[in-house]
């Protein structure tokens, strides 16, 4: 290949122009080689079009599958209905519930036990016995008692006894969620010791909550996941 020589000429007006000189013949495309314009104008074959359609369908199906897996096993969006978690959560709040720890516990054959004070979503059946229009629902409540706890509700307060607290403590006044009197008095007269797979849950709005004081402890296998963030209203976005 030979490199063309380039010279710069300046005319009388002072303007500059670029000219190119070459002592070689210009390269012309072969007659039997299609030019780029000819290639673009060639119609695509039916096989090529079918491949594009199948590729698009594959991408869409993969997206649906990923969304399904994430929703079932990793996290899910929920909307609050009802006043039982006021003033922490309000009607129509939009939440993100984290499912991955429960999923991993099931994969490994272990029990998933949330922390005391966590807000969880779980499935509860038999609610029609307590006047609810639906027999089975997904509820959102706060974890008060853990497996093995001895729980006493009396005189408007909850007292929990266990090996770490043999003399008892009130989670509503000692844990962060209940400080500054955020939780109202807890009605009821309960004295119960939880089994090794049981949790005791309550709504933060104790006077208006259907919870373990009514339907009893729940099983850890009923837990769907724990609340991690409120995403709506935007003015109340909060991490839990």
- Pairwise CA distance, residues 180 & 130, whole Å: 32
Residue 14 lies in a domain: no
CB neighbours of residue 97 within 10 Å: 20
Instruction: Quote the domain boundaries for residue 101.
Output: 66-239
Q: What residues are labeled active site?
A: 84, 141
Predicted confidence at residue 12, as pLDDT, reads: 41
Structural domain count, the chain: 1
CA–CA distance from 24 to each of 6, 20, 27, 29, 163 (Å)? 14, 12, 9, 15, 96
Torsion of CA 120, 122, 126, 129, to 10 degrees: 20
Residue 35 lies in a domain: no
Residue 13 lies in a domain: no
Predicted confidence at residue 1, as pLDDT, reads: 37
Predicted confidence at residue 217, as pLDDT, reads: 98
Predicted confidence at residue 4, as pLDDT, reads: 38
- Show pLDDT as tens, one digit a residue, over the chain (240 residues): 333 343 433 334 443 333 334 444 444 544 555 555 544 455 567 787 888 888 888 888 888 888 888 878 899 999 999 999 999 999 999 999 999 999 999 999 999 999 999 999 999 999 999 988 899 999 999 999 999 999 999 999 999 999 999 999 999 999 999 887 889 999 999 999 999 999 999 999 999 999 999 999 999 999 999 999 999 999 999 999
Predicted confidence at residue 13, as pLDDT, reads: 40
CATH number for position 213: 2.10.109.10
Predicted confidence at residue 27, as pLDDT, reads: 45
Residue 100 lies in a domain: yes
The residues, any chain, with a CB within 8 Å of residue 179's CB and separated by 6 or more, are: 173
The answer to whether residues 61 and 52 touch, using CB atoms and an 8 Å cutoff, is no
pTM of this prediction?
Answer: 0.76
* Residue written as token pair 């009607």: 91
Report pLDDT digits (tens) over 38-55: 444 555 677 878 888 888
Residue 59 lies in a domain: no
Report pLDDT digits (tens) over 109-131: 999 999 999 999 999 999 999 98
Residue 137 lies in a domain: yes
């Amino acid at each position: 290949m030979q490199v063309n020589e380039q010279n710069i000429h300046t005319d009388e007006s002072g303007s500059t122009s670029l000219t190119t000189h070459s002592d070689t013949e210009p390269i012309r495309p072969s007659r039997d080689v299609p030019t780029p314009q000819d290639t673009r104008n060639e119609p695509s074959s039916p096989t090529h079009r079918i491949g594009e359609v199948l590729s698009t369908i594959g991408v869409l199906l993969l997206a649906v599958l990923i969304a399904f897996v994430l929703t079932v096993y990793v996290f899910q969006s929920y909307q609050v209905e009802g006043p039982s978690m006021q003033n922490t959560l309000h009607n129509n709040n939009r939440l993100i519930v984290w499912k991955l720890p429960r999923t991993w516990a099931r994969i490994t054959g272990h029990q998933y036990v949330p922390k005391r004070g966590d807000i969880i979503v779980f499935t509860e059946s038999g609610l029609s016995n307590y006047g609810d229009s639906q027999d089975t629902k997904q509820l959102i409540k706060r974890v008060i008692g853990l497996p093995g706890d001895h729980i006493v509700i009396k005189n408007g307060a909850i007292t929990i006894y266990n090996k770490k607290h043999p003399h008892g403590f009130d989670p509503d006044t000692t844990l962060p969620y209940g400080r500054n009197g955020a939780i109202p008095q807890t009605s009821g007269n309960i004295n119960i010791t939880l089994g090794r797979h049981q949790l005791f849950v309550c709504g933060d709005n104790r006077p208006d909550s259907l919870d373990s004081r009514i339907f009893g402890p729940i099983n850890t296998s009923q837990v769907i996941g724990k609340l991690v963030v409120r995403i709506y209203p935007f003015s109340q976005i909060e991490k839990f």
